[in-house]
Structure 1
Amino acid sequence: MTADRRQARDAFLAQAGWDDASATPVAGDASTRLYERLTKGGQSAILMDAPPGPDGPPVKDGKSYSAIVHLAENMRPFAAIARHLTQHEFSAPEIFAQDLTQGFLLLEDLGDGVFAARIDAGDSEEALYGGATDVLAALHALPAPTSLGCGDDGPPHIVPPYDDTALMTEAELLPSWYARLAFGEDLDATAQADFHAAWTQVLPKARTAADVLLLRDYHSPNLLVLDDQSGLQRIGIIDFQDAVIGPAAYDVASLLQDARRTVPADIEARLLARYEAARTAQNAGFDADAFRAAYAIMGAQRNTKIIGIFARLLLRDGKPGYLKHIPRLADYLARDLAHPALAPVAAWFEAHLPLEKICVPIDPDSVTT
C-alpha cells in the first residue's frame, strides 16, 4: 500500500469512527482487492480496499478484459448489489460506511465460517450446499433488477447483461492461456477459430428462460455459515461485485461444480434436482430438461474459463497456487461435455486439447514464465 493510499484509508476510517480500531489482514481472492478485519470495543467490521480502475490494459476494441466481460472496475456495483440482497432479506454484509470514489467500504463482519472450514469441522457438506442451493432458488424467483441505487447521490448501477460476447471472451482464456501452459505456445489459428465456432453453436442453447441476477462467483470461498441466523439467512454471501443478468444455470453450476473443493457427483445430482423442484414449485412452466442443458453449457463455460484464469494467474501474475485446482475443473468439465447439447465443444476438446491432458497436474517449477 502506498503512502497516499494509507493516508486515504486512515482518513476514511477516521470519518467512519474506526480510526482507533486494531487491524489484521484477511485472506482475499485472486483480485487486487485488500481486506482487513477491524476490531474495537468488542465490535468488528471488514474494511474492503479496492481502488477504482480497469483490470489490465486494453485487449480488444480499446476495452480492457474487465470491461468486455463486465467485471467491476469500481466499488459501485458491490454497494448496489449488497443493498439489493439485504433488501430482499438475503445475508449479504451491511454497509456501515463507504467512499465509492476512492474505493473504500466498511462492512459488517460475517465471520470466518466459510464452507470449507465448517465442513472440515464436521458440518454436513450436503446440508450446507443444500442451504446455498435454496438461496439461489429464492433469488432466481425474483425479477432481474436493471438499475440499482448505490446509497449515495451518484448515478445508479446498471447491472450488465451476461451476453455471449462476455461468455465467449471468458471461454477463450483456455486456448489463449492454458495452451501456453500445456504446449508452451498458442494453438494455431485453425484450432482457435474452431473453438470460437463450437461455442457459437452452443451458447444460445443456455438461454431457454428469463434471465436472472447472477452473483457469478457463488461458491465455497464466498459462502459462510451464520450460526445466529436460520433458514435462507443462515447462508452469508460475499464477493458479488461482478454480478450480471444471465442464465440462472450459471450460478447453480458455480455452486455445485465448486472450483475450490470437490463436490461429489451424487451430491451434485441431488442438489440439482432440489433446485429444479424449488423452481417448479415457484413456476409450473419451469422446463427441467432445458435447464439441464443450460446447466451443462454454463458449467462447461465456467470451468473452461477458470482453467484459463488459473493458467493466467501463473503465467502473467506469478501465482502458482491455483494450478492444484485444474484437475478438479477438468473432471467437472468432463461431466458437462457428456451432455448432447455440448457435442461441438466436446469434439473440439477431443481434437485439440484432450481432457486427459488437462487432468494431469502441472508442476509450476517446470513452467517458464
Structure 2
Amino acid sequence: MSISRDEFLDRCGWAHARLDPVAGDASTRHYLRLTDPEGARAILMCAPVASTADRAAFDAFRRVGGYLRHLDLSAPEEYAAAPAQGFLLMEDLGDLSLSHLLETGAPEAEAAYRQAAHLLPILAKSAPAGLRAPNAEAMAAMVDLTFDMLGADGVELPALRARLRVGLADALARHAGGGPVFALRDMHGDNLIWMPDRQGPARIGLLDYQDALRLPMGYDLASLLDDVRRDVPHTWRKNLLEDFSAQIHETCEAATARIDCLSLQRNLRILGVFRRLSRQFGKPAYADYLPRTRRLIARALENPALARLHQPVSELLDRTAHWSAA
C-alpha cells in the first residue's frame, strides 16, 4: 500500500517536526532535516524508486550502511523505512563536513582529513557481500561516458577512445594492482562529517555510499585528495601519500603513481558526469567544477609513470575544452 511522506512521518512519530531542506548530492535523491518540538533531530531521505535501478540504489544504501555500522564506523543509524516509497528516516550526523572545515580554515581540518584517510585500512580488511569488482579493462571503459557526452564528435573518435581505454587499462594493471578492496567511491569532503565527540575512526561520519564497489587499494584516497570540488592543500596531500606508502609497503614513488593513476581514471569519468549533470539534468552548478577537474587530470598526467597516456588524454582534453568555456 502506498503512503505519502506525511503519513510515513506520522507513523514514525515525527508528524509535528519542522522540515528543512538539506543540501543534496549529484543524485535525484533529496533530504530533509526534521526537528521535533523538543529539539530532537533526524534526516529523511526521499529517494526515487520508480525503476529497478532506483530500488537497487536504495537497497544498496541500506545494505552498505549496515555493513559500515558493523565495522563500528559512523554511517547513520536507521530509524524507519518505507522501501516501496523510497523513504528512509535516519540519524542526523550533523552538518560539520570536512569541506566546511577546510573552507573555513578550521584548526581541526587537517586532523579530520588525516582521520578520514585512516579509514582506508579498516575498509580494506573485508567488504559487503555482492559488491562488483571491475577489472582494469572495465574501469577504463568507465571513461566512455565522457566520449558519449561529446555527442556526434565522440562517435567520430573511435580510435582515440580505443587508444585511451587500452592505455588506461594498462596503466591501472601496472600501477594499481593487487586484490580489490572495499571502496566507498565518493569519499570527499562533502560526504564526510566531523564528529569530534566520538572516538577514533567513528569521528568521521559517512554519507553517500550506495555506489560502493571493490576497487584497487587507494581509490578512496584518490577521491579524498584529488577532490574535484575543492583544493586540498599540497602539504596535506604529500603527508597523506607518505602515510599511505608506508601502510601498503610500497615506495613513495610507486604509491604516488598508484594514486595518480586512480585519480586520472576517476576524473576522466567525472569530466563526463559533470557535463551530463549540467547539460541534461538541470544542474548547471556542476559546470563550475569542470576547470578543476581538468587541472587534476593534467596534474596526474605529469607523473612520468603515466607518460604513455599523455597523447590520448591531452587530445581528449582539447576536444572537451569548450565545456569549461561554456
Length-normalised TM-score, structure 2: 0.89
- CA drift at 1:205: 2.6
Does the CA contact (< 8 Å) of 2:57 and 2:211 recur in 1? no
Identify the residue that residue 324 of structure 1 maps to in structure 2. Answer: 288
Structure 2: 5+ residue stretches without partners? none
Identify the residue that residue 246 of structure 1 maps to in structure 2. Answer: 215
1:1-369 mapped onto 2 (5 Å cutoff)? 7-40=3-36, 41-54=38-51, 73-124=56-107, 125-140=109-124, 142-145=125-128, 147=129, 158-164=130-136, 166-177=138-149, 179=150, 185-186=153-154, 187-277=156-246, 279-280=247-248, 286-288=249-251, 290-354=254-318, 358=321, 362-364=324-326
Bigger drift between 16-25 and 116-125 goes to 116-125
- CA drift at 1:130: 1.1
Identify the residue that residue 59 of structure 1 maps to in structure 2. Answer: none
Map Cα deviations across residues 120-146 of structure 1 (whole Å, 9 max, x no partner).
333144222111111223322x2233x
Does the CA contact (< 8 Å) of 1:133 and 1:271 recur in 2? yes
- CA drift at 1:303: 0.9
Specify the code of the residue in structure 2 equivalent to 1:97: A
Query: What is the SS of the residue equivalent to 1:362?
Result: helix
Map Cα deviations across residues 148-199 of structure 1 (whole Å, 9 max, x no partner).
xxxxxxxxxx22223446423421222222x45xxx8335332223223322
Tell me how far apart the structure 2 counterparts of residues 354 and 119 of structure 1 sit (CA, whole Å). 32
Identify the residue that residue 151 of structure 1 maps to in structure 2. Answer: none
Tell me how far apart the structure 2 counterparts of residues 322 and 100 of structure 1 sit (CA, whole Å). 29
Structure 1: 5+ residue stretches without partners? 56-66, 148-157, 281-285, 365-369
**Number of aligned positions between the proteins:** 322
The CA RMSD measured in Å over matched residues stands at: 2.6
Tell me the percent identity.
35
Q: Given the superposition, is the C-alpha separation of residues 72 and 261 from structure 1 closer, same or farther in structure 2, using an over 3 Å criterion? A: farther
Does the CA contact (< 8 Å) of 2:81 and 2:87 recur in 1? yes
Does the CA contact (< 8 Å) of 1:201 and 1:344 recur in 2? no
Query: What is the SS of the residue equivalent to 1:74?
Result: helix
Tell me how far apart the structure 2 counterparts of residues 165 and 73 of structure 1 sit (CA, whole Å). 24
Q: Given the superposition, is the C-alpha separation of residues 11 and 46 from structure 1 closer, same or farther in structure 2, using an over 3 Å criterion? A: same
Q: Given the superposition, is the C-alpha separation of residues 316 and 361 from structure 1 closer, same or farther in structure 2, using an over 3 Å criterion? A: closer
Q: Given the superposition, is the C-alpha separation of residues 316 and 211 from structure 1 closer, same or farther in structure 2, using an over 3 Å criterion? A: same
Query: What is the SS of the residue equivalent to 1:75?
Result: helix
Length-normalised TM-score, structure 1: 0.79
Query: What is the SS of the residue equivalent to 1:143?
Result: coil
Does the CA contact (< 8 Å) of 1:75 and 1:104 recur in 2? no
Specify the code of the residue in structure 2 equivalent to 1:51: P
Query: What is the SS of the residue equivalent to 2:288?
Result: helix
Specify the code of the residue in structure 2 equivalent to 1:255: L
Tell me how far apart the structure 1 counterparts of residues 153 and 177 of structure 2 sit (CA, whole Å). 37
Bigger drift between 189-198 and 228-237 goes to 189-198
Does the CA contact (< 8 Å) of 2:188 and 2:224 recur in 1? yes
